[in-house]
A and B are shown apart, each in its own frame.
Chain A
């Protein structure tokens, strides 16, 4: 069992990021204690094929009641790999998001934008043997939130992955290129390194765009690599 390389904290936000007010009372104040990566950290859950049902990768269909969901249909492609470029096959990717109007199905969401009866906004898929995943959805809308006056979250899709081990667990958000709200968003800006932040923004892809059907985006996800010899490209 090989172990994972240490987390690169330079790629991540600090626990206390003052611009994002909720971090002030919720982020740990003491530095995390380093422990030697061992058997525990090298293991992690794998998931049965039945975890993903036929329509789970298609959010334009998996919440349909009586018609098509409203909004701009998109297809998101990506590759899950590690920091050495090794593709990560058979990784479960969970996704959830707001609808085209910027409203979540979640009962606590009080934004007065309309719910879409034909869109739930959650799904999941596996990566294939090359680490590639794909899901169809509706481009999520921006929505206001209470962090500061006139605060709006940029369009984003939440993604959750375990990766190959418990230590590689990642929950992140995918953003869209050219969104003017990105530079105003304390969650996106919580990651202090500008180059790392760019990795949160999907790339528009005309090659992945499906003629007459859906705009294509590419969002690659990079997880911590393993200790040992890096793979030659």
Chain B
């Protein structure tokens, strides 16, 4: 290895006017926002939502969550991401500081199964003050039990921790939601991956 990696450092508490300006009403443009798939995207339109909890069980109000997912056909977007795009973007970014209940949310479509997996999932990165290195995780879907049972990554997770990765489908008056919380520590500590 010719060069050493640049160390990761925390995103800190004050990222919003740089990374999530539109969501937090700062005067700057965005390269990503909570819309992962616009209204013109093909597939089942869903919202993914949840809360990030610290080791005391308190909701975290200054985390930033990013997701990266395949489209409804199981393909990752190879086109440049453009927040003006009303179709499928594939990338989402949301801070936990603007929702009254400190939730993150993503408006997206349910992904298809990518070529080297068996079940649909969303890739997730968690950043916050107090994390010197971001953490990777995944969201799977609870109505895909048969596929989940075959997915090599999900099945590599100890059985008693698998539930931390599975979002629960809820039908709401405004549409389909999948709910999943992220627990940084504790009995329900989310499984994070060394990607």
- Residue-by-residue, is B82-112 near A (CB-CB < 8 Å gives 1, otherwise 0)? 1010000011000001000000000000000
- Residue-by-residue, is B49-71 near A (CB-CB < 8 Å gives 1, otherwise 0)? 00000111000101000101000
Which residues from chain B contact A53 at a C-beta distance below 8 Å?
29
Partner of A120, one of B27, B80, B97, B132: B27
> Provided the pairs A40-B117, A83-B2 are in contact, do residues A106 and B31 lie with their beta carbons within 8 angstroms?
no
Which residues from chain B contact A128 at a C-beta distance below 8 Å?
none
| Stretch of A66-74, A167-175, A176-184, A210-218 contacting B (4+ beta carbons < 8 Å) | A167-175
B195 within 8 A of A: yes
B7 within 8 A of A: yes
Which residues from chain A contact B114 at a C-beta distance below 8 Å?
39-40
> Provided the pairs A26-B60, A105-B17, A230-B2 are in contact, do residues A33 and B68 lie with their beta carbons within 8 angstroms?
no
Contact residue range for chain B? Answer: 35 or more
Partner of B5, one of A7, A20, A48, A94: A7
**Complex CA–CA separation, A123 to B90 (angstroms):** 23
Partner of B32, one of A13, A24, A45: A45
Let me know if B31 and A47 touch, CB within 8 A: yes
Residue of B nearest to A224 (CB): B5
A121 within 8 A of B: yes
Contact residue range for chain A? Answer: 35 or more
Partner of A221, one of B6, B29, B82, B90: B6
Which residues from chain A contact B7 at a C-beta distance below 8 Å?
11-13, 172, 191, 196-197, 199-200
Residue of B nearest to A188 (CB): B9
Residue of A nearest to B52 (CB): A26
A114 within 8 A of B: no
Partner of B195, one of A8, A37, A48, A92: A37
Which residues from chain B contact A46 at a C-beta distance below 8 Å?
78-81
Sample (24) of A-B pairs whose CB atoms are under 8 Å apart: A11-B7, A12-B8, A13-B8, A20-B132, A26-B54, A27-B185, A32-B193, A34-B193, A40-B123, A46-B79, A50-B84, A51-B31, A104-B14, A122-B18, A123-B18, A124-B31, A158-B9, A160-B11, A166-B123, A171-B127, A187-B9, A196-B4, A200-B7, A222-B4
Closest 3 CB pairs of A and B: A96-B18, A22-B130, A26-B130
Q: A28-B192, A173-B12 are in contact. List 7 more A-B contacts (CB 8 A).
A: A7-B194, A22-B129, A35-B193, A48-B80, A83-B2, A171-B11, A172-B8
